[in-house]
C-alpha cells in the first residue's frame, strides 16, 4: 500500500518558492533599470519651468539604441567634466550643426530654432561656447545642450559638447510629485 502525500506543501518549500520569486523580481528590476528605464531626481532649477527641483522623472535608456536623439528632446547624460554625475538638459544641436545665441534666441544653421527645439525664453550669451556673434560648430558624434532656465544653467555654453558615449537616455515623463505627473515633450 502506498503512503499518501499531503496536499499541503511544507513550510520549507514555501519559503524557497518565495525566495526564488523575490530573487527573480530583483533580477528583472535590475535588468529593466540597467538597460530599459531608470528614475532620476532633478537636483536644480536649470530646467525650469519644464522640470522643477525635486521632480522625479523616468528616462528611456533603450530608445537611442534604435534612433539618434532629436533636436529639442530633454536628455540625460553623464557630465563630460565628471562622468559620475548625471546631468539633464535640452538637446539643441547635433554633430554638423552650427549653433549661435543671437539676441536672446537660439539660431541653428542660420535659422531661428522653433518652439519644438527651444523653450520660449531668453537665452543668454555666456561662456566660451555661447559668446555673442560667435557661431559654434558641433563636432560629429557630439551634442550641444542648454538648460531651459538659461540664467541658471551650467551647460554647453560653458563646458562645450556632450560626447555620444556619455548619453544615458531620453527623459520621458515626470512621475513624482503626483500633481506634476505628465509626459515630457
Active site residues per annotation: 46, 89
**Nearest partner of 85 among 126, 56, 113, 44, judged by Cα:** 44
Strands (E), the chain: 37-41, 56-60, 74-79, 82-94, 98-102, 105-108, 111-112, 136-137, 142-146, 162-163, 167-176, 182-183
| Cα(16)–Cα(45) distance, integer angstroms | 48
DSSP character string of 53-97 = TT-EEEEESSGGGTS---TT-EEEEEETTEEEEEEEEEEEEETT-
Q: HSE-up of 106 (CA within 13 Å, CB side)?
A: 29
CB–CB of 78/87 below 8 Å?
A: yes
* Polymer length in residues for the chain: 185
Our CA angle for 54, 42, 47, nearest 5°, is 110
Amino acid at each position: 500500500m502506498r503512503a499518501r502525500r499531503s496536499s499541503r506543501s511544507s513550510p520549507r518549500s514555501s519559503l524557497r518558492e518565495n525566495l526564488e520569486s523575490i530573487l527573480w523580481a530583483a533580477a528583472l528590476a535590475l535588468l529593466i533599470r540597467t538597460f530599459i528605464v531608470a528614475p532620476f531626481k532633478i537636483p536644480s532649477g536649470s530646467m525650469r519651468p519644464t522640470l522643477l527641483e525635486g521632480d522625479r522623472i523616468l528616462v528611456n535608456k533603450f530608445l537611442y539604441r534604435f534612433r539618434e536623439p532629436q533636436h529639442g528632446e530633454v536628455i540625460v547624460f553623464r557630465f563630460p567634466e565628471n562622468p559620475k554625475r548625471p546631468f539633464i538638459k535640452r538637446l539643441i544641436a547635433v554633430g554638423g550643426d552650427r549653433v549661435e545665441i543671437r539676441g536672446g534666441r537660439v539660431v541653428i544653421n542660420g535659422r531661428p530654432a522653433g518652439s519644438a527645439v527651444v523653450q520660449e525664453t531668453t537665452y543668454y550669451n555666456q561662456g566660451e561656447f555661447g559668446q555673442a556673434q560667435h557661431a559654434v560648430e558641433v563636432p560629429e558624434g557630439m551634442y550641444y545642450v542648454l538648460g531651459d532656465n538659461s540664467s541658471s544653467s551650467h551647460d554647453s555654453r560653458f563646458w562645450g559638447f556632450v560626447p555620444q558615449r556619455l548619453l544615458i537616455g531620453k527623459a520621458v515623463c515626470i512621475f513624482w510629485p503626483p500633481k506634476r505627473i505628465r509626459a515630457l515633450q
